[in-house]
Amino acid sequence: MNEIVQNIIIWAPGILFAITLHEWAHGRVATWLGDPTPRLMGRLTLNPIPHIDLAWTIVIPGVMLLASLMTTGTPFVFGGAKPVPIDPRYFLRPGRSYRMSMFWVSAAGPVMNLLLALGCALLFRLVTRLPEFFMVPLANMLVAAIHMNVLLAVFNLLPIPPLDGGRMLGAVLPRPFDRHLDALGRYGMPIVLVLAFSGVMSLVMVPAMSVLNRFYLSMAGLH
């Protein structure tokens, strides 16, 4: 039980901040593109609390983390935060591409996770210079955060609406294919669950995650 608690302490910060900053990035880019909604709704903050969704940020990831640690010892977790509210009508202004605005707002979350993974890798090099008492737990947290950010980025880049990858694909597809893809959004989460439990999702995600994890761990000096 102590080992499980230690693993939760190691993985929880990475999960919380990966999810929180993912949503913050969506809101920040939407604001840059002229939509004041995230700011007005109090979502342009690095304080995790306004971004937390009880079910998707705490309960579901917590149960999955606990279950995976008790069975395999290898955490497999996904979850989410409260989606940052945006009003796409602000992207309809003259001289601005609505579709590309939606593309960049959607891409902001996964890009943030990839940047966070890079930041954790570079910070790892500094942490290893600390005394062992401080270095070991911080190093473990940073490695866990790298894995979590890679997982969240790859998962959200799957081209299935309402995931970010689905919205990005819809923004670049020619009409009417974009509308057909958007119509799949109502079935998006059931499709994701079917792919996850059938093992198809792993066939797609694991190779991409392996490549990215090797890259970031090499940046951390671990390979």
Per-residue confidence (pLDDT) for residue 79, from 0 to 100: 64
- Between CA 107 and CA 168 the distance in angstroms is 7
Which two three-digit tokens encode residue 134? 């401080």
What's the whole-model pTM score? 0.88
H helices present in 82-97, as ranges: none
Contact 81, 53 (CB under 8 A): yes
Per-residue confidence (pLDDT) for residue 74, from 0 to 100: 54
Per-residue confidence (pLDDT) for residue 75, from 0 to 100: 56
Per-residue confidence (pLDDT) for residue 51, from 0 to 100: 85
Estimate the crossing angle of helix 132-156 against helix 200-219, to 10 degrees: 140
Nearest to 212 by CA among 118, 142, 140: 118
- Average pLDDT per consecutive 10 residues, the chain (223 residues; last block may be shorter): 72 86 95 93 87 75 67 60 87 84 96 97 91 87 94 92 91 84 79 79 90 95 82
- Between CA 72 and CA 187 the distance in angstroms is 31
Q: Which residue has the tokens 């995976």?
A: 68
Residues annotated catalytic, as ranges: 23
Residue type, 141: M
Backbone angles phi, psi at 136, to 5 degrees: -60, -55
Nearest to 58 by CA among 77, 45, 83, 39: 77
H helices present in 33-163, as ranges: 37-40, 60-71, 98-127, 132-156
Per-residue confidence (pLDDT) for residue 78, from 0 to 100: 62
Q: Kindly calculate the radius of gyration of the chain based on its CA atoms and give it in whole angstroms.
A: 18
